[in-house]
Structure 1
Amino acid sequence: MNYILVGGGLVGMGTALALKRLQPDARIQILEKEPRVGQHQSTHNSGVLHAGLYYKPGSLKARLAVDGIRRMVAFCEEHGVKHEICGKLVVATTPEEVARLHTLIERGTQNGLRGLRWLEREAFREIEPHAAGLAAVQVPEEGIVDYHGVCAAMEKTLRAQGVLIATGARVKKSVRGGTSGAGQSWRVETTAGDFTGDFLINCAGLHCDRVAESAGEKREARIVPFRGEYYKLKPSAQSLVRHLIYPVPDPAFPFLGVHFTRMIEGGVEAGPNAVLAYAREGYTKWQIRPGDLFDALSYGGLWAFMKKHRAMAWEEVRRSFSKKLFCQSLQTLVPELTEADLEPGGAGVRAQAMLPDGTLIQDFHLVERAGALHVLNAPSPAATASLAIGEYVAARVVGGAASV
C-alpha cells in the first residue's frame, strides 16, 4: 500500500509511525509545506504534557489524552528527549469554581488518571507557596517536554524506516481517479511536484479544511485561527512558580485560560489569551494574510460565535492590548505578581474547527471516505496525544485501505 500523508507535524508523523508498525512494507510519503517538520502547532504551544483531566468521559479526547501522555513519556525516555513529570495544580479561586473543580476530579478519575488529589488551601500552598485560591486538584502525571526534540526524534525514526518526507510541498490540488494495484489512486499536486498514492491522509492542522476541500470535500466546518499570546516571567520573579499552575476552565469555552508553565529549557511562561489571528500562521498582532482574514470574516459561523460570546471575546481583545489587564488575570492565581515582573513571550495559533452556527468542535473530528481520511479537528491535547492519535488514525486507515 502506498500512502500520501499531508502534514509533517506531530499528528502526521505519529500517524506515519503507527502505519509503519502496522504495515512495515507500506510506502509512506509525508508532504509538508514548510522547510522543516513541526513548525506550527507542534512546537508553538505551551510545552505541557496534558493527562486528560478536563475532557468528557468517553470522548475521543479523553481516551486518547490518557493513553497519549503515557505513550509520549515512553517515547521521550526511549529517544532521550528532555521531559519532566512535575505535576500540575488546578486552582479554584471562587466558590463557583470549587464546584466545577469537584466535577473535574470526577472526570479525571473516570478517565483513568492516577494519583489525583483534592487539596485545601494550606495543602496546595505547600506545593506552590505563592498560589492563591480556595482549593486545588493536583494532577501528578502531567509535566513538561521539549516538543522540538520530539519532532526531531520522530523525523529521524521515520527517515530511518524509509519514509519519504518532502518539505516545501504545499498541496494545491488532490485528484482521485487513476488506477493502481490497490484500485483508484490519488494524484496530489504540490509546489514540490506531483505525488501519487493509493490512500490520502490529511493531518494538515491549520490548513486541514483547505486540504480536504482540495480533495473534493465540502467545508462544512471551517478552521478559525485563534492566537494565544504569552508573557514570560523575568528571572527575578520566576521563584513565584515552581511547576504548573492552572485555573479552573470555563465550561462554555474550550480554552483553558491564562496559566503559569515552567518551561523545559528554563524560565516561566504566563498565558495565553485567545484572540482571532489575522493569518493562519499569524504569531503577532500585526501579521495579516488577506486571504486568511477574508476566509474567517466571511464565515457566518465566526459571527455567530462572536454573538454568543460577545463579552468574553471583547475581554480577550482588551487583554491582548493591555499588559495591565493581562497581569490582573494572572494575579488571580499568583497575587504577588506585578506588571514589572512580565516581559513579552511567544505566541501560538490554535486551529479551531467551527460549525456554521458558531459552535466550536471540542473533540477530535475525523472524516472518513473511500481512499481517504481527514483529521479536521485536533486541538489541545493533540501534541501530547499525537502518538495515540496516530495509532487511532492508522487503525482506521488500515481498515479503510483494505476496501480501497
Structure 2
Amino acid sequence: MYDYCIVGGGIVGLAAAYAISRQRPGARIIVIEKERQLASHQTGHSSGVIHAGIYYAPKSFKAELCRAGERDTKAFCDENGIPYRTPGKMVVATDDLELQRLGALEVNAAANNISCRRLNGAELIEMEPAVSGVGALLVEQTGIVDYAQVSRALASYLTAAGGEIVMSVGVERLEERSDHVRVLAPQQSWEARYVIACAGLQSDRLAVSSGMDVNFQVIPFRGEYFALRSDLSGLVERMIYPVPDPALPFLGIHLTPMMDGALTVGPNAVLGFAREGYPKFSVNPRDVAAFLGFPGFWKLIAGNISNGIDEMKDSLFKRAYLEKCRKYCPALQLEDLQPYRTGIRAQAVSRSGVLIHDFMFLQSKRQLHVCNAPSPAATSALPIGRMIFDRLHGAK
C-alpha cells in the first residue's frame, strides 16, 4: 500500500508530491498520469509567466499563494539550474479611463505588498518605443520560465526520493474506505492511505465518480495565441499587458517574451467545444453535451453574451484579433502574426453561472480534490503543494 497517491502529473500534482516527499521523507508516493508525458495540458500550454500578483484581491488565496509562489519558483529554479528571466511587466493604459483603472490597480498592488512603479507616457515610450500609451504600471519582479521544465525537475526529485510515476493510465474513480482509498483505472488498481486528485480539465468528473458533493462544472475556454515573426522577437523587452476591464472575466490579449525566444501575442478566451481538443474547431460531443445540460452554463452565457460574441469574433477573424493587439502596439501588421500553440483553461463555473476565480478544494477524510486551480496556479504551485499537505492532515 502507498502512503500517498497523486492523480495528475501537471505542475500542481507534482508540487504536491514534492511537498509530501520533503515533509515526510520515506513515505511511499505514487503519481498517476493519464498522458504519455508530464505537464501535457494546462501546465505545458501556459504562457510561462511568473506572476507577481498585482491583480488579485488582497487576502485571497490567489494573492497570498502568488506572492509566495513568485519567490519559491525562482528559488527552486536557482537550486535546480532551471533558466528563467525577469524582464518585468508593463500594464499599459491607452486612455483616461484606463489611467483611472491603473490607479486602482496600483492601490491593489500596494495592498498586496507588491512593489511597482508608475510611468507617464514619455517614460513608457522611452522604455518601450514600440508601445503606445498614456501611462503604465511597471512590475519589475514579473518573470518567465518553462513550467514543463519545472515540472520535470519536480518529478526527478520525487523519483530520486523513491517515489513512483506511472504514465498513460487514466484513473476512473476513487473508492474511499475507513483506512485507505482504492484508486481504480481500467484493468489496474492501487491502494493508498491518502489520495490527492489534481485532474485539471477532468477534475469535476473524477470528483463526481469518487463520491464528492460537486456543485460546479468545468467548462473549457480556449486561449489562442500567435507568435510574432522571428525578426520581431525583440520588439519589446518586457511583458506588455492591457489594463484589465473589471466588467470582463479575463485579462485580455498581451505580449509575452517566451523562454524559447518567441514573442507571443494572446490569449483570447473563447468557449471550447472539447476539454482536451487543441486544434481549432475541435469538438467532443460528450464535453458539449455536459455543458449544454448544465444550468450554470446558460446563466453564464446570458450574463456575458456580448463579450462572448466579441471573443468568438477574435477567434474566427485574425484581423479582429490584430486590432486588440494594435491598441497598445500599433505597428503590428496582419502578416506579423504567426501560428502558435493553444491552451485550454479548466474554468470552474457554479450552478448559478458564476466564474469561480479562486482556488477551490473538495475534501473528505482521505481524499483531497483540487477542483479549480486558475492562473496563477503554475506560479503558485509550490506553496499550493505545501497547502495541500497541510489541508490533508489538518482534516485528520
SS of 2:180 mapped into structure 1 = strand
What do the CA deviations read for 1:223-276 (whole angstroms, capped 9, x no partner)?
001000011101233333222100011223332100000111102100111111
1:121 corresponds in structure 2 to 121
Query: Where does 1:200-215 land on structure 2 (aligned, <5 Å)?
Result: 200-215=195-210
Residues 26 and 161 of structure 2 are in contact (CA less than 8 Å); yes or no, is this contact kept in structure 1? no
Match 1:223 to one of 218, 224, 237: 218
2:50 corresponds in structure 1 to 49
Q: CA deviation at 1:101?
A: 1.1
1:398 corresponds in structure 2 to 393
SS of 1:184 mapped into structure 2 = coil
Find the aligned partners of 1:369 and 1:215 in 2 and give their Cα distance. 11
1:374 corresponds in structure 2 to 369
Residues 227 and 282 of structure 1 are in contact (CA less than 8 Å); yes or no, is this contact kept in structure 2? no
- Normalising by the residue count of structure 1, what TM-score does the alignment of the two structures yield? 0.95
SS of 1:252 mapped into structure 2 = coil
Residues 6 and 203 of structure 1 are in contact (CA less than 8 Å); yes or no, is this contact kept in structure 2? yes
Q: CA deviation at 1:35?
A: 1.1
1:153 corresponds in structure 2 to 153
Q: Could you tell me which amino acid in structure 1 is paired with residue 218 of structure 2? A: I
Identity of aligned residues (%): 40
Match status 1:170 vs 2:165: no
Query: Where does 1:3-42 land on structure 2 (aligned, <5 Å)?
Result: 3-42=4-43
2:180 corresponds in structure 1 to 185
Residues 234 and 263 of structure 2 are in contact (CA less than 8 Å); yes or no, is this contact kept in structure 1? no
Residues 185 and 197 of structure 1 are in contact (CA less than 8 Å); yes or no, is this contact kept in structure 2? yes
Q: CA deviation at 1:398?
A: 2.4
1:238 corresponds in structure 2 to 233
Q: CA deviation at 1:58?
A: 0.4
- Structure 2, unpaired ranges of 5+: none
Match 1:384 to one of 376, 379, 384: 379
Residues 237 and 337 of structure 1 are in contact (CA less than 8 Å); yes or no, is this contact kept in structure 2? no
Match 1:336 to one of 295, 316, 331: 331
- Normalising by the residue count of structure 2, what TM-score does the alignment of the two structures yield? 0.97
SS of 2:219 mapped into structure 1 = strand
Find the aligned partners of 1:191 and 1:158 in 2 and give their Cα distance. 25
Find the aligned partners of 1:46 and 1:285 in 2 and give their Cα distance. 18
Q: Could you tell me which amino acid in structure 1 is paired with residue 253 of structure 2? A: V
Find the aligned partners of 2:98 and 2:186 in 1 and give their Cα distance. 50
Match status 1:199 vs 2:194: yes
Q: CA deviation at 1:33?
A: 0.7
Find the aligned partners of 2:234 and 2:196 in 1 and give their Cα distance. 45
Residues 170 and 192 of structure 1 are in contact (CA less than 8 Å); yes or no, is this contact kept in structure 2? no
Q: CA deviation at 1:192?
A: 6.1
Query: Where does 1:311-322 land on structure 2 (aligned, <5 Å)?
Result: 311-322=306-317
Residues 248 and 307 of structure 2 are in contact (CA less than 8 Å); yes or no, is this contact kept in structure 1? no
SS of 2:278 mapped into structure 1 = coil
- Structure 1, unpaired ranges of 5+: 178-182
What do the CA deviations read for 1:107-134 (whole angstroms, capped 9, x no partner)?
11221223x1011111122221111111
How many residue pairs get matched? 395
2:106 corresponds in structure 1 to 105
Query: Where does 1:73-84 land on structure 2 (aligned, <5 Å)?
Result: 73-84=74-85
Find the aligned partners of 2:319 and 2:362 in 1 and give their Cα distance. 43
Residues 36 and 167 of structure 2 are in contact (CA less than 8 Å); yes or no, is this contact kept in structure 1? yes
CA 1:152–1:192 in 2, change beyond 3 Å: closer, same or farther? farther
Q: Could you tell me which amino acid in structure 1 is paired with residue 233 of structure 2? A: Q
2:67 corresponds in structure 1 to 66
Q: Could you tell me which amino acid in structure 1 is paired with residue 175 of structure 2? A: V
Q: CA RMSD in A?
A: 1.3
Residues 82 and 149 of structure 1 are in contact (CA less than 8 Å); yes or no, is this contact kept in structure 2? no
1:348 corresponds in structure 2 to 343
